[in-house]
Amino acid sequence: MSWVDEIVKRVMMEGITDVSDILKADIVREVIYKRVEDMLVGTKVIPERQVKTPDLWLEFPSKIEVQGPLAPEASATADTITWTKIAFTMAEKYEGRFIITDVALARQQGQEQYRAGVRRLAESMARAEDKEILSAIDAAVGATVSCSATWDSADADPVSDIANAVNEVLKAEDLTIDDIKNIALILPVRAYTELMKLTEISGIKTSLLDWLQGTYGLKILPTKQLDKYGYAIVPGEDTGRHYVWKPDGIKLVEEDRIPGVGVQYVVRRFFKTFIIPDDPSKGNTTRRIVKINGIFA
């Protein structure tokens, strides 16, 4: 089996079935894009939306007040609607590349180089994309709580720290029951290991992780992008959107030959995150996002 056949096989394993007319570069794009999207932490709270244009201009009501009771001849005023505008361009790209060398092909190691190249490039692209999403989340923090002690200290009380953060999230307006049930915590990987430690709660041996998820229904999302702090956040499109531009006229993966070396694949993505503010006239923050400071020093 050639390394190209191996790509097709990998595509089929990834769940992409229509490969009869796809060029090699397009196959590589599909495989890497799917891997990146599977690895992302940020899109588990800020949903991805694919768009066909780099310039996004959208105006929608983020909040509507109901007036009443009104007299039969009266009508609600226009100022009951809070408008949010999304206006930005995705002209800047994120790009990486991998190479399948002539020597590797001669040694019948092209498949191995392909697998390693796809894996490493997808990991790197996912880190860059998560960093962009988390930066947008951080810029929109609506409230901050501080831990009573770092979670690796003897005085640590992560349950109270998390409860304080959730209480702040609950102060956000217009939360639904589903919103409350789906509150998520984005935490440093080290925090995840601290929460996995066994403890005794109400006479039962359990981990804080299982107890938090079972009692409060919290979703715990560990990431290596954070090391000292975390976030409590209400996931969903009412909090924000992560736009990914997939243009028709621009190649997102290109294949070319490096003379004397081998074949290289250049992979690029265009993306940008928009967080919906509570009140655009007062700033870009939302109470749906609460920062937890002091998890680690």
- Euclidean distance between CA atoms 3 and 280, whole angstroms: 52
- Per residue in 113-137, pLDDT tens? 988 999 999 999 999 999 999 999 9
Cα 266 to the center of its chain, rounded Å: 23
- Of 162, 130, 132, the C-alpha closest to 147 is 162
What is residue 19's predicted lDDT score, i.e. its pLDDT? 45
Mean pLDDT of the chain: 88
Least confident piece of the model among 6-20, 36-50, 124-138, 251-265: 6-20
Domains within the chain, CATH numbers bracketed: 3-63+82-137+240-281 (3.30.2400.20), 142-239+283-293 (3.30.2320.10)
Residues 171, 185, 212, 179, CA torsion sign? positive
Spatial contact of 218 and 165, defined as CB atoms under 8 Å apart: no
Its pTM stands at 0.85
Q: Mean pLDDT lowest for which of 3-12, 183-192, 284-293? A: 3-12
5 band by pLDDT with thresholds 50, 70 and 90: low
Q: Contact at 8 Å (CB) between 125 and 40?
A: no
Q: Computed from CA positions of residues 227, 229, 234, 237, in that sequence, does the dihedral angle turn out positive or negative?
A: negative
pLDDT tens digits for range 28-86 = 888 889 889 999 999 999 999 999 999 988 888 878 889 899 999 888 887 788 888 88
Unique residue bearing structure tokens 């991805």: 48
Position 218 scores a pLDDT of: 92
Residue with tokens 């996004």: 56
Written as six digits, the tokens of 296 are 């680690």
Q: Strand 55-64 and strand 81-89: pairing?
A: antiparallel
Cβ burial of 77 (10 Å; 0-12, 13-18, 19+) is exposed
Would you say how long the chain is, in residues? 297
Which percentage of the chain shows pLDDT scores above 90? 58
Partnered with residue 96 across adjacent β-strands are 267
CB-based contacts of 256, cutoff 8 Å, min separation 6: 263, 264, 266
User: Does the pLDDT value for residue 282 go beyond 70?
Assistant: yes
Tokens 């655009």 sit at which residue?
Answer: 280
pLDDT band at 250, cuts 50/70/90? confident
Cα dihedral 184, 189, 194, 196 in deg (nearest 10): 70
As a whole number of angstroms, the distance between CA 134 and CA 132 comes to 6
Contact 153, 261 (CB under 8 A): no
From residue 112, alpha-carbon distances to 100, 117, 158, 182, 256 in Å are: 9, 8, 44, 40, 19
* Amino acid 267: pLDDT: 94
pLDDT on residue 241: 95
- Model confidence pLDDT, tens digit, residues 174-218: 899 999 999 999 999 999 888 988 777 777 788 888 888 888 889
Range from 80-94, 108-122, 237-251 carrying the lowest mean pLDDT? 80-94
Token pair belonging to 63: 């909040």
Q: pLDDT band at residue 20, thresholds of 50, 70 and 90?
A: very low
Predicted confidence (pLDDT) per residue in 131-165, tens digit: 999 999 999 999 999 999 999 999 999 999 999 99
Tokens of 114: 């392909």
- pLDDT at site 279: 86
pLDDT reading at 228 higher than 80: yes
The CA distance from 147 to 155, in Å, is: 11
